[in-house]
Copies of this chain bind each other. A is one copy, B any other.
């Protein structure tokens, strides 16, 4: 036999078991998006390279999968160009298309391209694979699904509330306990302004993030080492020491940020969101977390991040508000807010915590054993009745040894097997065997349908 075939590294096949689990996640998410009135879109796997290049930084450009032009891709190039152009640039000369790298840029492109058909505010979701030429490693793939939900064309904080509700509902439906962290870029901007270091937001946030781990003195040393002015560090210290409830933190910051309009605006947004949540999500674990600095280069307001409260793993969902998503394609001034669910990490959490449902929607309920042509003729209409009643049923297609057929039922975890032999055909009944207990009973087709009908 030839070598066992394989697939490109960093890509995956999904077997029926994995598909059942993935569909459990995606169906749960989709159902909740739907109930909130979000609408699906899909964009093509291939985008014009010109739509993708320069959108993800220099490093991102290198991670784009380029699609070689069809036909004579080198026809227009001189020998000199072929041999002397560096691979990076030559790649763009022989490829006009690339695989999408995320769902955000295609969404921005979609909004601009279809702006006359879209009804704003546009509440859209999109669940599709993306591709990155990253070095594959455990938990990092070259093809993986993203699951994005955004509202574009509205400044209202009700959109933020809705996304938090969605997060809360999705993880509750999946049976996972999570902590939702909330921050606001404007608050961070206010803080760095008030301490006189408006350009150092990233350094400062990184330092704050380490507070719990390395302690106040080391954080201060690090900030000093990074060139922060001593008086700035001194001013920052009370912020770092800020303790207490969300309410107390917000009160503290209210005083601290006096003098920064942006900071106070951000704080008002955070406050309002907590008021909204009191009305609707008194039980949700939402924390105001100043150290949350996700996507600081494009988020302009609220920032979200979700972590499992039950195991150590990176963020399983996150997002924020961006004031100029579509600007890259020439449409200015459209504000949006969105989050993205990390399906692969959620999968890992559910698997490790054993929270996948034991039986899947996809499982077969009943297998008819195949004893031969006469019996099959009798079974065919019964099978039809069962399926019409929503009972997933099969007949073993080949007339082989009983043992092989029972093995099939066992391997497929089919809970009921129906035996229809000569006598059953004569009596117009079916012998139903429950696999776990081994119990058998004789039923008419109508009784069989009644017994196995899914609970409504």
Contact = CB atoms under 8 A, between A and B. Distances in A.
Contacts of A11: 44-46
Interface stretch (A79-87, A290-298, A423-431): A79-87
Interface string A386-430: 010011111111110000000010011000000000000000000
Contact of A15 (B19, B47, B114, B408): B114
A46 B362 contact: no
A205 to B, nearest CB: 29
A67 B276 CA distance: 48
Interface in A305-334: 329-331
A62 B70 contact: yes
Interface in A350-372: 361-362, 364, 370
A75 interface: yes
B280 A384 contact: yes
A161 B96 CA distance: 46
Residue from the set A94, A390, A397 with the largest chain B CB neighbour count within 10 Å: A397
Contact of A41 (B16, B113, B159, B398): B16
Nearest to A108: B5
B43 A68 contact: no
Contacts of A129: 45
Interface string A17-48: 00110010000000000111101111111111
B155 A398 contact: yes
B70 A68 contact: no
- Copies of this polypeptide in the complex: 2
A171 interface: no
A123 B377 CA distance: 21
A430 to B, nearest CB: 16
Contacts of A23: 40
A67 B114 CA distance: 29
A243 interface: no
Nearest to A383: B280
Contacts of A62: 70-71
Contacts of A91: 68, 73
B19 A387 contact: no
A65 interface: yes
Nearest to A389: B35
Contacts of A220: none
A124 interface: yes
A8 B280 contact: no
Contacts of A124: 16
A208 to B, nearest CB: 32
5 contacts: A46-B142, A71-B133, A123-B394, A276-B380, A280-B380
